[in-house]
Structure 1
Amino acid sequence: MMKALPDTCVQLQYRAALNKLWAGLMLEELARLGVKHVCIAPGSRSTPLTLAADENEKLTLHTHFDERGLGFLALGIAKASQQPVAVVVTSGTAVANLLPAVAEAGLTGEKLVLLTSDRPVELIQCGANQAIRQQGIFSEHVTEFNDLPSPSLDISPNWLLTTIDAAMSQQSVRGGAVHFNCHYPEPLYGSDVDFSSYLTPLESWLNDGLPYTRHQQAGFGPVIIDTAAWQSMTEHKGIIIAGRMEPSELPAVQALAMKLGWPLLVDPQAGGSSDWAGYDVWLQNPHCQQQIEQAEVVLQFGARLVSKRLLQLIADHCWQQYWLIDPLSGRLDPSHRRSLRIQATVKSWADEASRLVSAFNHYGWADSLKQASATYFELLAARDNSLNEMTLAANLMQWLPQGSELFLGNSLIVRLLDMCGKLPQTATFANRGASGIDGLIATAAGVQKARKAPLLCLLGDTSLLYDLNSLALLKTITEPVVVLVTNNDGGAIFDLLPVPEQQKESLYRMPHGLEFRHAAAMFGLDYQCPQTLAEAEQACRLGLQHNGATLIEVKTPSGQSGELLKALFAEVKNATLL
């Protein structure tokens, strides 16, 4: 005789409870694998994940109403903590809004764990509400993708945990985001059910606190350098380039450059400077260019360089050897030079290379360019000292209190700092993978939540307009945070690019005629709008000592920065710097 099915209410209660059970198993395993932070946007379909995260005491929750900003918030936390960060969103376009942050993580290696909620398969492509095709939505931007079935007692919980473990193992090696698309049938709300018999295979896991499967990787291991090749390298005139690297790694590179006596060209993302600062500008001087072109080899730590002049030098010069050291795998040289590509952490490789240095054949060969740098900054200081984007970039880094950290926006502001500033040795963060202007406030908020240090965030007006919603993430921060926005009424970066003059205003710069005073008030932030360089300095210093967030808006005339830079380039090109 056929056994009768339980009544509908019992079936529905079991379904809601099983959804939550699977979500709880996933989040517990992720916590054991190093996830400490979960970023959550509101939604109904994601209820199993949201409630499971809230009940797990190992996890710290962060919330935001905007999924695009939420993705960048998670990116910032992952960037600053160097740990995987989970993101929970509901179904539909909520998932699609994560793509910009996922694309950035795919290029720069931050570890995101995307837990996206979905309708069950029977509701996909049949006219059901809020159902889009989420399978593979992030394409090759993610390291690993798993389309998880609707929770079922027919599927062993062991399978669920090993699926999590396998994807996280890939992420530990390759970085980037992993995506788990979770199909949850309704109901999504209900009471708990006793699943003890179903969980019997997990008895030891439930009691020991360890990951279910432990993948062991050798990692990079001890750094091994070919001594003969390294000795050959050091017998030439060389340049060391410091690109994107983790906080505290630059001193090891500086020590190696000092030991070799080679010039050190430091990108803003490295978190510091050198005696050769301002190279993006003085490289336009023909005498300086002739001097630097005596170099025969390049040793580059970290990729994603800001300076176009430096990238052009790497691409055009006939180097005898070009070595690029970066912890990420894959191609990182846009000029596709013949090279030695070394996958290793910057500090460990630089430390070992310093230990092996024995030849000083060309020690100090480019020291004359230190004078070129010093003379260039004297020229810069002698120019008009009114408040504009160039003088701001030249002076701003001197205003940072000890212990303050930096988040650098994209487009014009990061280039101005590269050209005109001397960055202090401090933790510096940026989104220089896809180099987008979206999500910069949210990413900076994530960095601050992970680091808990005073933070100066620099960005342009279009960038702030793009991420205005994310100012909501700053209103509850208790440490000092300053968002300094340069408002030049549109995309001033296009003043430096050969865009068609007739269409520049309407199709490229796109002036908006807006200011940010009311935006600061709307989100409960302190607001300053300095009129002089001295007022800007005072606002910045006070903001970085005051607990909470301050928005400083520096207004400059449209087109001014482009004209100032063109005049500076012309002066430096014809100046006697050496």
Structure 2
Amino acid sequence: MINHSIAEMQAPLNRLWADLILEELSRLGVRHVCVAPGSRSTPLILAADGKDNLTLHSHFDERGLGFYALGLAKSLQAPVAVVVTSGTAVANLLPAVVESGLTKEKLVLLTADRPVEQINCGANQAIQQAGLFSSHVCHELLLPSPSLAITPQWLLSKIDQSIAVQQQVGGSVHINCPYPEPLYGGEVDFSEYLVGITKWQHSSNTYLSINTPVKTHALDATALTALYGAMPVVNKKGLVVIGAIATAEMQAIKAWAEMLGWPVLVDPQAGGSSAWPHYDVWLQNAACREKLAEAEVLVQFGARLVSKRLGQFIAQHDWQDYWLIAEQAGQLDPYHHACKQFISPVSQWLASFSRGELNLQLDDTLATDSSMFSDVGDLNHPTSGYKWGQALTQASSYVRQLVETNYIDSLTEVSFAATLDTCLTMPPLTTPTSLFIGNSLIVRLLDMFVELPDVPVFSNRGASGIDGLVATAAGVQAGQEQGMICLLGDTSLLYDLNSLALFSKPKHPCVIVVLNNDGGAIFDMLPVVEQQKELLYRMPHGFGFKHAAGMFDLDYIQPKTLAEALSAIDHGLQPMRDETGKVRTLLIEIETPAGKAAEQLKSLFSEVKDACFI
């Protein structure tokens, strides 16, 4: 190794450690790195930029960057790295980390830091970054400053062990990287220092081989006994609820439920619908609740349901059996039922439920004793459970007819939500399209009124915040690589306005629809004195978004009718380019009177509550 002073050695050594970290992460499945500008993070940024198998994404706002990475991880179902400089840049990642901690998208946070000797001594841009994300990350790795006294074998081992934790439980990993100055310098021959990892350098394997438990395709005998008990569920009245899952999985669940003759309630996060839509509205009818209460078994796929009324029904009903199937571990039932929880991919669970496959998985004793399945019958011809919930489809039809007759004559939040499905099924729409749904009022309106076709749907329903929604949608679209409709409220867009920059140079058509009712209309339903509601909850702002669209080079339209709004969405989703060959993002601003949605909802709920339709 060439003899160099410590100062001459530090910058190249910083870069070497960063190269090792990024190389190992790429071998562990990271393909995308999101970076924000900063000097202290120079070793990591240059290392990422130097790797051909990594795609870099940049944003000037670290908070937006974190949510952009979250969107990428959602759509790709793969780990995404985030590189930021030291100080408050790191703290700005916290909202996205909170969301990923709940919904388990895999983010790898590479946060540059000042060396330990500069912490708590008045040094510039030096904060206590250790423990900053608290329990919101699944693992924290606090690296020392790069030093020749610490082997590269140790560094690679630590990276592998950290990512192994993430692969098991999901969520974000925080890797804190303190880099002493100088940060910029020449090259040094580190061949002697790297001799212990020569074999790794000449391979494409990870340094450690950490084998995680393999998920099986079938339930074990103990689970089967607990699952079926004395009376097979196929002979009971069951209810299927589909939460946040992949659209393809939803189709398999619906086919399974049809085989059993059980009604299916689909959350908008699943993408798609069923013969029982609008349940958040008709559940306010006592006769409907009484009919649905005939269900003895609840099978829920995915978690974090949008509908409060459905949640309340689930909480208050005394279920004979309650099964919850999701890949995510941990407590996912906010009502703390004595449920049977299956941590499993949906497709594997459905396969395990099949009578034929279950028999193949039994041990020798159970395999010779068919009494456990003597009453199961033919799954293609269920007994008492068949079509028991068919009458509730009349409630769905009644709500739909009521809305179409009385609430879509003008452009309002309700009329828009009730007709959005037409934008995703119009014959001219030939390009694949996904949907990103913001939080607050818009997601609840879609839950009440929309009948989605089978489209990929994304949202941030972990912490359900309104921050970072524009950036998350941009990340989702970058991962999906197809057209997108993004639905937001006005306060949500104001909160993340600078992330519109992420849509200024799109590769695929995108339509951002902002429903501007001048503040937080979701609070209109609260039983609060009107004056307090206006000043302390709604907080009207009086802003429009035309100039914001111009600032970020987006097309803009403010439709005055429902037909104009739907036509604008259809036009914006077509893969057309401007005269320069550039794809354009369209921002559609739908202005509605403050309080109009609450007024219509109260009227609708009153009609449905006392109606006789089943």
TM-score interval (norm. to shorter): over 0.9
* Matches of 1:481 and 1:19, distance apart in 2: 40
Give the letter for the 1:115 counterpart: L
* Matches of 2:174 and 2:441, distance apart in 1: 33
* Matches of 2:352 and 2:569, distance apart in 1: 40
Q: Answer yes or no: is the 8 Å Cα contact 2:555–2:587 preserved in 1.
A: yes
Aligned to 2:504: 475
1:430-449 map, 5 Å: 430-449=459-478
Q: Answer yes or no: is the 8 Å Cα contact 2:31–2:55 preserved in 1.
A: yes
Question: Structure 1 residues 344, 398: CA separation in 2 closer, same or farther (over 3 Å shift)?
Answer: same
Q: Answer yes or no: is the 8 Å Cα contact 1:321–1:339 preserved in 2.
A: yes
Q: Look up the SS of the partner of 2:162 in the other structure.
A: helix
**Is 1:348 aligned to 2:348, yes or no?**
yes
Aligned to 1:454: 483
1:209-288 map, 5 Å: 209-224=204-219, 226-227=223-224, 229-230=227-228, 232-288=232-288
Give the letter for the 2:268 counterpart: P
Give the letter for the 1:287 counterpart: A
Aligned to 1:371: 394
1:354 Cα shift?
A: 4.7
Aligned to 2:610: 574
Structure 1 residue runs of 5 or longer lacking an equivalent are none
Aligned to 1:61: 56
Q: Answer yes or no: is the 8 Å Cα contact 2:139–2:165 preserved in 1.
A: yes
1:176-575 map, 5 Å: 176-224=171-219, 226-227=223-224, 229-230=227-228, 232-354=232-354, 358=379, 359-384=382-407, 385-400=409-424, 401-402=429-430, 403-545=432-574, 546=576, 547-575=583-611
Q: Answer yes or no: is the 8 Å Cα contact 2:327–2:345 preserved in 1.
A: yes
1:355 Cα shift?
A: 5.3
* Matches of 2:434 and 2:3, distance apart in 1: 60
* Matches of 2:537 and 2:181, distance apart in 1: 47
Q: Answer yes or no: is the 8 Å Cα contact 1:173–1:219 preserved in 2.
A: no
1:286 Cα shift?
A: 1.3
1:338 Cα shift?
A: 0.9
Aligned to 1:151: 146
Q: Deviations over 1:279-328 (max 9, x none)?
A: 00011111111110111110000000000000000100111111101100
* Matches of 2:123 and 2:236, distance apart in 1: 67
**Is 1:138 aligned to 2:133, yes or no?**
yes
Report the more deviating stretch, 74-83 or 378-387.
Answer: 378-387
Give the letter for the 1:42 counterpart: P
1:58 Cα shift?
A: 1.1
Aligned to 1:109: 104
1:13 Cα shift?
A: 2.1
Report the more deviating stretch, 420-429 or 244-253.
Answer: 244-253
1:55 Cα shift?
A: 0.2
* Matches of 2:126 and 2:286, distance apart in 1: 60
Q: TM-score, normalization: structure 2?
A: 0.91
Q: Answer yes or no: is the 8 Å Cα contact 2:247–2:454 preserved in 1.
A: no
* Matches of 1:138 and 1:51, distance apart in 2: 25
Q: Look up the SS of the partner of 1:483 in the other structure.
A: strand
Q: Answer yes or no: is the 8 Å Cα contact 2:109–2:174 preserved in 1.
A: yes
Question: Structure 1 residues 366, 247: CA separation in 2 closer, same or farther (over 3 Å shift)?
Answer: closer
Aligned to 1:82: 77
Q: Answer yes or no: is the 8 Å Cα contact 1:168–1:178 preserved in 2.
A: yes
* Matches of 1:360 and 1:214, distance apart in 2: 50
Determine which of 36, 41, 49 is the counterpart of 1:41: 36
Q: Answer yes or no: is the 8 Å Cα contact 2:218–2:351 preserved in 1.
A: no
Report the more deviating stretch, 498-507 or 24-33.
Answer: 498-507
Q: Answer yes or no: is the 8 Å Cα contact 2:217–2:352 preserved in 1.
A: no
* Matches of 1:419 and 1:177, distance apart in 2: 33
* Matches of 1:344 and 1:499, distance apart in 2: 43
Aligned to 2:119: 124
* Matches of 2:571 and 2:538, distance apart in 1: 32
Q: Answer yes or no: is the 8 Å Cα contact 1:259–1:354 preserved in 2.
A: no
Aligned to 2:92: 97
Q: Answer yes or no: is the 8 Å Cα contact 2:288–2:392 preserved in 1.
A: yes
Q: Answer yes or no: is the 8 Å Cα contact 1:244–1:302 preserved in 2.
A: yes
* Matches of 2:502 and 2:28, distance apart in 1: 27
**Is 1:17 aligned to 2:53, yes or no?**
no
Q: Look up the SS of the partner of 2:570 in the other structure.
A: helix
Give the letter for the 1:316 counterpart: Q
Q: Over aligned residues, Cα RMSD in angstroms?
A: 1.4
* Matches of 1:427 and 1:299, distance apart in 2: 22
Structure 2 residue runs of 5 or longer lacking an equivalent are 357-377, 577-582
1:232 Cα shift?
A: 2.1
Q: Look up the SS of the partner of 1:248 in the other structure.
A: helix
Q: Look up the SS of the partner of 1:550 in the other structure.
A: strand
Q: Answer yes or no: is the 8 Å Cα contact 2:247–2:272 preserved in 1.
A: no
Q: Look up the SS of the partner of 1:290 in the other structure.
A: helix
Q: Answer yes or no: is the 8 Å Cα contact 1:263–1:276 preserved in 2.
A: yes
**Is 1:168 aligned to 2:192, yes or no?**
no
Q: Deviations over 1:37-85 (max 9, x none)?
A: 0000000000000000000111000000000000000000000000000
Q: Answer yes or no: is the 8 Å Cα contact 1:278–1:421 preserved in 2.
A: yes
Q: Deviations over 1:180-215 (max 9, x none)?
A: 000100000111111001000010100011111121
1:262 Cα shift?
A: 0.3
Q: Answer yes or no: is the 8 Å Cα contact 1:411–1:437 preserved in 2.
A: yes
Q: TM-score, normalization: structure 1?
A: 0.97
Give the letter for the 2:275 counterpart: D
* Matches of 1:347 and 1:365, distance apart in 2: 25
* Matches of 1:110 and 1:290, distance apart in 2: 38
* Matches of 2:510 and 2:352, distance apart in 1: 37
1:217 Cα shift?
A: 1.5
* Matches of 2:32 and 2:509, distance apart in 1: 22
Q: Answer yes or no: is the 8 Å Cα contact 1:386–1:533 preserved in 2.
A: yes
Q: Answer yes or no: is the 8 Å Cα contact 1:256–1:354 preserved in 2.
A: no
Report the more deviating stretch, 277-286 or 350-359.
Answer: 350-359
Give the letter for the 1:191 counterpart: G
* Matches of 1:548 and 1:83, distance apart in 2: 28
1:501 Cα shift?
A: 3.0
How many aligned positions are there?
Answer: 572
Q: Look up the SS of the partner of 1:168 in the other structure.
A: helix
Q: Look up the SS of the partner of 2:186 in the other structure.
A: coil
Give the letter for the 1:311 counterpart: G
